[in-house]
């Protein structure tokens, strides 16, 4: 037989026949990513993604840090490196975490490729098919995507303005024996809500009583523009908590550099899980961030972000006040990148998105954030990415859409 012809036939036949597992075949693509595609059309104002403002990226400082990193570390910056991350960056992060209230050593820090990887590694290490996870209801879609891959089930806990309802957590823990509690306790994605210190203490009590780890995903915690700071979950809960931090919202998400902070034993286990995932995060980018942190400019940069996002959030709230119908409600975040709106319960934010797109505005409708599939009358607005003028225009356009659909 002509071997070449045989090979060709096999290759053509293959694509339909890959033996993907059933749960991979069932995966759905992120709705946010789909909405972002519409958002990038010309003239559309996006209040959809969780993008930081591109105008705020410290481009010149990162450029200088990139030069300094290669000058100082030469080929080391381009070589394979440690799964845990480069010691200099881990040390610098440990120092920052300690300043933020949780006494941290380098041994507690594992560098990850975005905090999304921290979420994925957690899922990979802890979830077996059918296991329950406690989450807020609603919660971050990217976490649900990662957990769904491992066929998790959810004990989704409702929230009020003080965060997750901890009484419900204890009931759920007894009933479902969850593997861990996943929370975004500060300036939550999607609601913008921050868990009070009292609630945090109550949640930690439940976690310790039933020996269930808390994973506190905290990309937004440092971006507080109003109100009184609340101690971090890690500061309150110590070793009961694994916290996930990231440079994505305070420096730039394209750097894909983040960290897990946990007890050294737990972190050592995650080191092995990470080895199988990607060996280690990019060496050069870690040196760049190390050199950037060494300049001491990050605290002032965060202050600038706080001023800018605070101004944008205030403007968005004022425009909402003036333009949204009185039947609607919305959150008043003290920091972060998002606020959360509710239409009357008989209305659908997913249906109204089509009208909003005709008016050249996008938002993310709420139900994908709910593990229990509710929330079709809710949606999330991002205020960091659009300009002040665009925020005003977009909210006025949305106001028109909602007012004409009020029944
Ligand atoms: C709650 C939450 N966790 C994790 C991430 C992912 O962040 P990173 O860019 O560090 O992967 C995001 C991004 O928006 C987020 O909102």
Domains of the chain: 8-57+300-405 (3.90.1150.10), 59-294 (3.40.640.10)
Residue of 258, 216, 179, 202 lying closest to 102 (CA atoms): 216
Tokens of 231: 């101690």
What pLDDT does residue 3 have?
Answer: 44
Dump pLDDT digits (tens) for 192-243. Answer: 999 999 999 999 999 999 999 999 999 999 999 999 999 999 999 999 999 9
What pLDDT does residue 5 have?
Answer: 45
Nearest-atom number in ligand 1 for the CA of 188 is: 1
Q: Is the CB of 281 under 6 A from ligand 1?
A: no
Tokens of 9: 């036939």
What pLDDT does residue 124 have?
Answer: 97
Distance 372 CA to ligand 1 centre (A): 21
What pLDDT does residue 33 have?
Answer: 75
Place of tokens 């080895």: 275
Dump pLDDT digits (tens) for 281-300. Answer: 999 999 999 999 999 999 99
The pTM is what? 0.94
Per the CB < 8 A criterion, the answer to whether 157 and 165 are in contact is yes
Distance 191 CA to ligand 1 centre (A): 14
State which of 57, 113, 114, 115 you would mutate to test the pocket of ligand 1, scoring each by most atoms of that ligand within 8 A of its C-beta.
115
Q: Is the CB of 225 under 6 A from ligand 1?
A: no
> In 169-178, which positions are buried (b, 16+ CB within 10 angstroms) versus exposed (e)?
beebbeeeeb
Residue ranges in the chain whose pLDDT is less than 50? 1-8
Query: Which protein residue has the closest C-alpha to ligand 1 atom 6?
Result: 116
Q: Is the CB of 362 under 6 A from ligand 1?
A: no
Distance 115 CA to ligand 1 centre (A): 6
Nearest-atom number in ligand 1 for the CA of 337 is: 16
């Amino acid at each position: 037989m002509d071997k070449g012809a045989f090979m060709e036939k096999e290759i053509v036949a293959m694509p339909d026949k890959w033996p993907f597992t059933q749960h991979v075949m069932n995966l759905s693509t992120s709705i946010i990513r789909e909405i972002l595609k519409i958002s990038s059309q010309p003239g559309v104002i996006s209040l959809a993604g969780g993008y930081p403002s591109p105008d705020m990226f410290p481009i010149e400082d990162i450029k200088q840090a990139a030069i300094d990193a290669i000058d100082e570390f030469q080929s080391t910056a381009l070589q394979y490196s440690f799964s845990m991350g480069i010691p200099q960056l881990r040390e610098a992060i440990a120092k920052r975490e300690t300043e933020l209230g949780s006494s941290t050593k380098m041994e507690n820090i594992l560098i990850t490729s975005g905090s999304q990887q921290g979420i994925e590694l957690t899922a990979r290490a802890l979830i077996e098919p059918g296991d329950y996870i406690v989450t807020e209801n609603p919660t971050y879609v990217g976490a649900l995507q990662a957990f769904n891959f491992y066929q998790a089930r959810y004990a989704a806990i409702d929230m009020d303005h003080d965060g997750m309802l901890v009484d419900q957590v204890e009931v759920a823990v007894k009933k479902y024996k969850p593997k861990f509690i996943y929370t975004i306790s500060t300036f939550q994605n999607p609601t913008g809500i921050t868990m009070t210190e009292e609630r945090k203490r109550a949640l930690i009590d439940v976690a310790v009583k039933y020996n269930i780890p808390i994973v506190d995903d905290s990309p937004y915690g440092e971006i507080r523009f109003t109100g009184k700071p609340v101690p971090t979950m890690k500061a309150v809960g110590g070793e009961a908590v694994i916290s996930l931090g990231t440079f994505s919202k305070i420096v730039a998400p394209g750097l894909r550099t983040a960290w897990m902070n946990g007890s050294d034993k737990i972190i050592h286990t995650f080191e092995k899980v990470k080895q199988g995932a990607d060996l280690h995060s990019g060496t050069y980018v870690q040196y760049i961030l190390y050199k950037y942190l060494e300049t001491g400019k990050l605290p002032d940069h965060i202050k600038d972000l706080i001023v800018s996002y605070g101004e944008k959030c205030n403007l968005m709230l004022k425009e909402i006040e003036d333009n949204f119908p009185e039947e609607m409600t919305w959150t008043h975040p003290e920091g972060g990148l998002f606020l959360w709106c509710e239409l009357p319960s008989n209305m659908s934010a997913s249906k109204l998105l089509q009208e909003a797109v005709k008016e050249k505005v996008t938002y993310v409708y709420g139900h994908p954030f709910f593990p229990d599939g509710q929330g079709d009358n809710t949606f999330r607005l991002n205020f960091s990415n659009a300009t002040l003028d665009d925020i005003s225009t977009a909210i006025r356009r949305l106001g028109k859409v909602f007012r004409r659909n009020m029944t």
